[in-house]
Amino acid sequence: MVKALWEDFLKIAKEEAGSRVVETWFKAVSFQSFDSISNVVYLQAPNQFVKNWLKSNYMSLLQTHLGRLLQVHELKIAFVDDIATVAETSAITPSNDSFQMVPAQLAGERRGALAPLKTMARQVQGNINPAYTFDSFVVGPSNSLAYAAAHAITEKPGRLYNPLFVYGGSGLGKTHLLHAIGNAIKDNQQQAHVLYQTADRFVNEFISAIRFNKVHKFQEKYRDIDVLLIDDIQFISNKEQTQEAFFHIFNSLYEGSKQIVFSSDTFPQNIDGIAERLRSRLACGLVTDMYLPSLETKVVILKKKASLSGDHLPDDVAHFIASRVVSNIRELEGALIRVTAFSLLTKQPLTLDLAKRVLVRATEQAVSVDGERVMKVLARHYPYSFDDLCSKNRNKDIALVRQIAMHLLKKLTDKSLRDIGLFLGGRDHSTVVHALDKIEQLLHEDRFLADKVKRIESDVLA
C-alpha cells in the first residue's frame, strides 16, 4: 500500500512540477510510514542536501497531494535521518559555500602552468572528438576572429583570453571549434587534463551527484581539470543549484589559471535565467561571435568535406548546393550527403543536373515556416499568448497547448529540439523530448485533438 501510494504521488508531482523535478528530487526519497494518529508522513532522504531542498521548495506540494491521497486535511511531513549518511555528508548543505573549492589546491604549480599527470584516470580522452581539428575547420569572414582566438589560447592555455566565449546560431561550427581547441592542447601538452562537456550533461551529472550522494566526487572531478570546454552554456539558465555549483567551479579554475571556453547561441548579456554574478564571469574574458558564412566560404566548406570523404565535388555542383542552403553549416553538410549518396546509390555521375533533381525535390517536399507564424496561428485557436506558453505555468490546459506548439515547431520548422526549448522559454532538450512523446501519444488516442491539430497545421501552411 505504501509503495502504491508513493507511486500515485509521483505521478501527480510529475504533472504539476515536471518530470525533471520528480527524477531529481522525489525519486531520491522513500516513503517510510504514516502515523494515522498524529497525521504525520515519515520520509527518508538520501542526504541533508536533498532534505533541505525539499523542505525549502516542495513541502506544500508534498502536504497537499499526500494529504489528498491519505484523505488527511492537515498532513505533517517529517524526515527520518539516516545517522550514518548525514554524518558523512554534513559538509554538504545548500548554503553559499556548498561547492567552494580552495583555489590554492587548484593552482598546484606556478600560476599559468598546467598541472602534471597525476593518475591513470587523467588519460581519458575527455569527450573530445578527434575528427574535429583546426585543420578540418574552414575559416572565413564569418568565423575568423573566433578561430584566431581559439587557436591562440592553445599556445598559452589559461594565460590568454580566459575565459573565451564563442556565440552564434545553431550549426555554425561552435562545437567543432571547442573540440579543435581540446585536440590541439592535448597534442601540445599530452599531460593536460582536457574535458569537453555539454551544459545538459553537466546539469545531469550534477543532479546525479545530488541524488546519489556523490557531490564530493563531482567536485573532485572538476578540481583536476586543466582545460574545461562547456558547450551550449545557456542551458544552465533557470537552474539555480547547478549555477551555484558551476559558479564555484569557475572561480576555482579561473584562480588556478585553468583555461575555460564557453559556447552559446546568444551573447552572455542576453541569456535569461542566469545569476548576475555568473553572467559577469561568462563575459569577463574575450567574447566573439560566429555567423552564417558567405557563399564563397560555403563552397570551400563543401569542397573540403567532400574531399575528407574521398569524393570529388565539381565546382558548379558545390556552388549550386551552397546557394540552395541558407540556414547553417549542418544543413549544408546534410545537402551534400543527400547528393553524394544519391549519386553513389544510383550509380550516376555527380553532376549539376543530378544535384538539382535531388535538392529541388527535397525543397519541394520539405516545408519550413517561421516559428513566430506557428505561435500566431496557435493563438487564434487557443486563448493563450506566446508569453503564456513561455512561462513556467504548469496549468494542464497551458501545458497541452505548449506541447502542441512543440509538435508543430518540430514538424513545420527547421528548429532543432534545443532550439525549440530555447524558443519556448529556455526549456531544456529533455523537456522537449518528453513533450513530443506525450503529444504523439495523445494525438493517437484522441481523434478530436488530432483533427484540431491538423486544422491548425493547415492554417499555418495556408
pLDDT per residue over 217-245, tens digit each?
A: 888 888 889 999 999 999 898 888 889 88
Q: Which triple of cell numbers denotes residue 124? A: 581519458
Is the pLDDT reported for residue 320 higher than 70? yes
Q: Are residues 270 and 235 in the same domain?
A: yes
Decide if 104 is inside a domain: no
pLDDT value at residue 191: 87
CATH code, 250: 3.40.50.300
Distance between CA 227 and CA 108 in Å, rounded? 15
C-alpha cell at 374: 506557428
Q: Which of 275, 290, 305 is the last residue of a domain?
A: 290
The residue assigned the cell 520520509 is 43
* 89 pLDDT more than 50: no
Q: Is residue 93 in some structural domain? A: no
Question: Residue 462's pLDDT is what?
Answer: 66
CATH of the domain at 67: 3.30.300.180
Residues of the chain with pLDDT > 70, as a percent, come to 87
CATH of the domain at 353: 1.10.8.60
Same domain, 280 and 299: no
Give the integer Cα–Cα distance in Å for 330 and 413.
15
- In single-letter form, the type of residue at position 24 comes to T
Residues 206 and 308 in one domain: no
- C-beta of residue 42 within 8 angstroms of C-beta of residue 80: yes
First to last CA, the chain: 54
Question: Where does a domain end: 66, 88, 110?
Answer: 88
The verdict on residue 98 lying in a domain is no
- Judgement on whether residues 205 and 280 belong to the same structural domain of the protein: yes
367's CB contacts (< 8 A; 6+ apart) are 412, 461
Same domain for 360 and 376, yes or no, is no
Give the pLDDT band (50/70/90) at residue 309.
confident
Q: Which cell is 263 given?
A: 559556447
Could you give the 3-state DSSP secondary structure of residue 83?
Answer: helix
**Dist CA 376 CA 397 (whole Å):** 18
Residue with cell 505548449: 402
- Give me the pLDDT at residue 403, please: 93
Q: How far apart are CA 223 and CA 203, in angstroms?
A: 17
Q: Is the pLDDT confidence value at 72 over 70? A: yes
Torsion, CA 422, CA 50, CA 32, CA 30, rounded to 10: 40
- Examine residue 100 and state whether it is found in any structural domain, yes or no: no
Q: Give the lowest-confidence range in 106-120, 156-170, 326-340.
A: 106-120
Asked whether residue 94 is assigned to any structural domain, the reply reads no
Q: At what angle do helices 215-223 and 199-211 cross, to 10 degrees?
A: 140
- For 7-59, write each residue's pLDDT tens digit: 888 888 887 777 767 877 788 888 888 887 888 888 988 777 778 888 888 88
The H or E element containing residue 275 is: none
Query: Whats the size of the chain, residue-wise?
Result: 462
User: At residue 159, what is the residue type?
Assistant: R
Q: Residue 195 has what pLDDT?
A: 94
Same domain, 280 and 139: yes
Residues 316 and 377 in one domain: no
Q: Look at residue 185 in the predicted model and tell me its pLDDT.
A: 94
Q: 233 and 331: one domain?
A: no
Domain that holds residue 352: 295-365
pLDDT of residue 38: 81
8 A C-beta contact, residue 442 and residue 449? yes
Q: Confirm whether pTM is higher than 0.85.
A: no
Q: Which of 250, 265, 290 is the last residue of a domain?
A: 290
433 and 353 assigned to the same domain? no
Reported as a single tens digit per residue, the pLDDT across 347-396 is 899 999 998 888 875 444 444 567 888 898 998 899 988 888 998 888 88
State whether 407 and 331 are in the same domain: no
Residue 179 CA, distance from chain mean position? 17
Residue found under cell 591562440: 152
CA distance 159 to 257: 7
Between residues 413 and 123, the one the model is more confident about: 413
Integer-rounded Cα Rg, in Å, for the chain is 26
Say if 115 falls within a structural domain.
no
- The per-residue pLDDT for 326 is 63
For the beta carbon of residue 248, count every other beta carbon within 10 angstroms: 17
Q: What is the total count of domains within the chain?
A: 4
Residue 46 lies in a domain: yes
Whether 310 and 391 share a structural domain: no
Is 125 inside any structural domain?
no
CATH of the domain at 428: 1.10.1750.10
- ∠ CA 67-72-76, nearest 5°, is 65
For residues 221 and 332, membership in a common domain is answered with no
